[in-house]
A and B are shown apart, each in its own frame.
Chain A
């Protein structure tokens, strides 16, 4: 028992708690579009990347303060979603998936190649930890308090969203778009708002990710990360608020014991990936009939 307690209070425990907080924001925001809205949004990680790079570049190359960085991350990711929405929201399911995938591919190609701005594959080093109200967040436990508050606030916001009239109309039009439209719901605006809120939250997570690691590079925003966040939402059951919270904690912590086994670091990454993919497949297999309500058209 003592050893577990030691782990929780140790630097490593703090690190894990920060990771969980980060993924809580990412997964819950994907849950809004993918779970409630049934929009197979594969550009969520691109929104995350936009937020992370906004903070990283503004704070290093332009010396912007914490408030400015976070605000620009959130705004840029929101605007990014508007752009994405214009192109993809009127497409049918399959084209929508491909469209969002192409969009995120454009972003990752830009991150790698637009070297004069993004620093290319070398990434952005030396992102300073923020200082706020005279408190500095160089220390990880201080940073945990900050990101914990932000994560909690996001969860409350999403809880309110899910139970609000907006959440209900998003749910309704996911199941039966024309029936929702016939009830006077503006289907296009509802989806656009969901997209923007979700993307802006991912940008917020990106901003904190950049601050936490002090260093980001394009490899953190690859498609594998998208699959991971998708796995969280599916394991937690799409559209379920508490389910996604539980699944975040479970999936972020699950591969950690692998670290204590005698496995070379070359195998560690692929093994984590394999574990997540197998869990994803198993969950979809077991819940294949009830994961999504059958979409109806007339």
Chain B
């Protein structure tokens, strides 16, 4: 049983990296606007399909496909904020949740009509042969996923905690009115963060496409996973959310990988198990594992 533990930990790191990229943008947006974007998982899915369109179908080079997808996703991020979130902020906290739910459905149905509902995957250009290190198998792609997630999250941490932009961001997240009265343009920063979150989500979606496969209906399950990571870390607490994402990966992989006295859970249960853990957290610590106050850092 212990012999597979290192493999499970590595697998958890891979899953956790994807979840962390998917939920970090969501947590940042939540920190600034106090709005749960239900369409975030659908945005991931759209990002993956944009890449599929540009790279696999229009056969652009890898780099220009990435750039075109990023450009397209920036527009999606802008529209999300401008049309589906900001006009509803003042009226009620529930409204943006409902409108982003509508957005998610709209995105899902449009992609279903354009690409069909079947499972798709990217033509593999990154090597998929596993290399073995001390009994742990890992592909170059998986190495890349983990490394890129760590680099991106590290850069985010640096910007948030060490630069003037990060200070402004934290100021807005904590007290919007006070930040405005110090001459900080909240609009510019809000749009910037929302678009950044969209791009991070799209990147995570593309990684999902390389690692497994994509489907128009995958959106809501990733939204729920990202929410789960946020709940584990405390809503709006970005590092808590990142930690929550890796924990979610660990929970999922351990729950199906380890056997409990000769009985092990079938793979399909890992989702259920993860959500049961979330419900347990909500029951015992209604404000997440890491602290009560919602905050960005």
Whether the complex brings A and B within 8 Å at their CB atoms is answered yes
Q: With the chains together, A103 CA to B278 CA distance in Å?
A: 9
Give the secondary structure class of B's interface: helix
Verify B275–A105 contact, CB threshold 8 A.
yes
Contact flag A267-B278 (CB < 8 Å), given A94-B235, A292-B91? no
Q: With the chains together, A40 CA to B95 CA distance in Å?
A: 11
Verify A291–B92 contact, CB threshold 8 A.
yes
Is residue B24 contacting chain A, with contact meaning CB distance below 8 A?
no
Q: With the chains together, A222 CA to B97 CA distance in Å?
A: 18
Contact flag A113-B268 (CB < 8 Å), given A234-B98, A280-B98? yes
Verify A281–B275 contact, CB threshold 8 A.
no
Residue of B nearest to A280 (CB): B102
Chain B residues within an 8 Å CB radius of A99: 278-279, 282
Is residue B224 contacting chain A, with contact meaning CB distance below 8 A?
yes
Which of A92, A98, A224, A295 meets B105, CB within 8 Å? A224
Interface residues of A in 193-244 (CB under 8 A from B): 222-224, 227, 230, 234
**Which of A38, A112, A234, A277 has the most chain B CB atoms inside 10 A of its CB?**
A277
Verify B105–A274 contact, CB threshold 8 A.
yes
Verify B279–A87 contact, CB threshold 8 A.
yes
Is residue A71 contacting chain B, with contact meaning CB distance below 8 A?
no
Verify A109–B272 contact, CB threshold 8 A.
yes
Chain B residues within an 8 Å CB radius of A278: 102, 106
Least distance between A273 CB and chain B CB atoms (Å) = 4
Residue of B nearest to A231 (CB): B102
Chain B residues within an 8 Å CB radius of A281: 84, 99, 102-103, 106
**Which of B36, B101, B276 has the most chain A CB atoms inside 10 A of its CB?**
B101
Least distance between A222 CB and chain B CB atoms (Å) = 8
Interface residues of B in 238-286 (CB under 8 A from A): 266, 268-269, 271-272, 275-276, 278-279, 282-283, 286
Residue of B nearest to A226 (CB): B101
A-B contacts, CB under 8 A, total = 136
Chain B residues within an 8 Å CB radius of A86: 283
Chain B residues within an 8 Å CB radius of A222: 217
Least distance between A93 CB and chain B CB atoms (Å) = 6
Is residue A4 contacting chain B, with contact meaning CB distance below 8 A?
no
Verify A102–B105 contact, CB threshold 8 A.
no
Chain A residues within an 8 Å CB radius of B220: 223
Is residue A90 contacting chain B, with contact meaning CB distance below 8 A?
yes
Q: With the chains together, A215 CA to B88 CA distance in Å?
A: 41
Which of B87, B112, B268, B283 meets A109, CB within 8 Å? B268
Verify B109–A277 contact, CB threshold 8 A.
yes
Chain A residues within an 8 Å CB radius of B105: 224, 227, 273-274, 276-277, 280
Least distance between A41 CB and chain B CB atoms (Å) = 11
Q: With the chains together, A103 CA to B275 CA distance in Å?
A: 7
Verify A102–B275 contact, CB threshold 8 A.
yes
Is residue B94 contacting chain A, with contact meaning CB distance below 8 A?
yes
Chain A residues within an 8 Å CB radius of B217: 222
Interface residues of B in 4-55 (CB under 8 A from A): 34, 36
Is residue A88 contacting chain B, with contact meaning CB distance below 8 A?
yes
Chain A residues within an 8 Å CB radius of B272: 105-106, 109-110, 113
Is residue A79 contacting chain B, with contact meaning CB distance below 8 A?
no
Chain B residues within an 8 Å CB radius of A12: none
Verify B224–A102 contact, CB threshold 8 A.
yes
Q: How many residues of B contact A (CB 8 A)?
A: 46
Verify B103–A88 contact, CB threshold 8 A.
no
Q: With the chains together, A90 CA to B103 CA distance in Å?
A: 29
Chain B residues within an 8 Å CB radius of A184: none
Is residue B211 contacting chain A, with contact meaning CB distance below 8 A?
no
Q: With the chains together, A174 CA to B106 CA distance in Å?
A: 30
Verify B268–A95 contact, CB threshold 8 A.
no
Verify A227–B101 contact, CB threshold 8 A.
yes
Chain B residues within an 8 Å CB radius of A291: 91-92, 95
Contact flag A94-B36 (CB < 8 Å), given A280-B102, A284-B102? yes
Verify B286–A91 contact, CB threshold 8 A.
yes
Residue of B nearest to A99 (CB): B282
Chain B residues within an 8 Å CB radius of A109: 268-269, 271-272, 275
Q: With the chains together, A275 CA to B201 CA distance in Å?
A: 26
Q: With the chains together, A285 CA to B266 CA distance in Å?
A: 44
Q: With the chains together, A91 CA to B286 CA distance in Å?
A: 7
Least distance between B63 CB and chain A CB atoms (Å) = 32
Chain B residues within an 8 Å CB radius of A259: none
Contact flag A284-B99 (CB < 8 Å), given A87-B279, A90-B286, A273-B105? yes
Is residue B113 contacting chain A, with contact meaning CB distance below 8 A?
yes
Least distance between A170 CB and chain B CB atoms (Å) = 16
Q: With the chains together, A224 CA to B112 CA distance in Å?
A: 13
Verify B92–A295 contact, CB threshold 8 A.
yes
Q: With the chains together, A288 CA to B84 CA distance in Å?
A: 12
Q: With the chains together, A92 CA to B235 CA distance in Å?
A: 11
A-B contact pairs, 14 of them (CB 8 A): A40-B97, A90-B286, A97-B97, A98-B228, A101-B224, A102-B279, A105-B272, A109-B269, A270-B109, A277-B106, A280-B101, A281-B106, A291-B91, A291-B95
Q: Give residues in B with beta carbon < 8 Å to A.
A: 34, 36, 84, 87-88, 91-95, 97-99, 101-103, 105-106, 108-110, 112-113, 116-117, 217, 220-221, 224, 227-228, 230-231, 235, 266, 268-269, 271-272, 275-276, 278-279, 282-283, 286
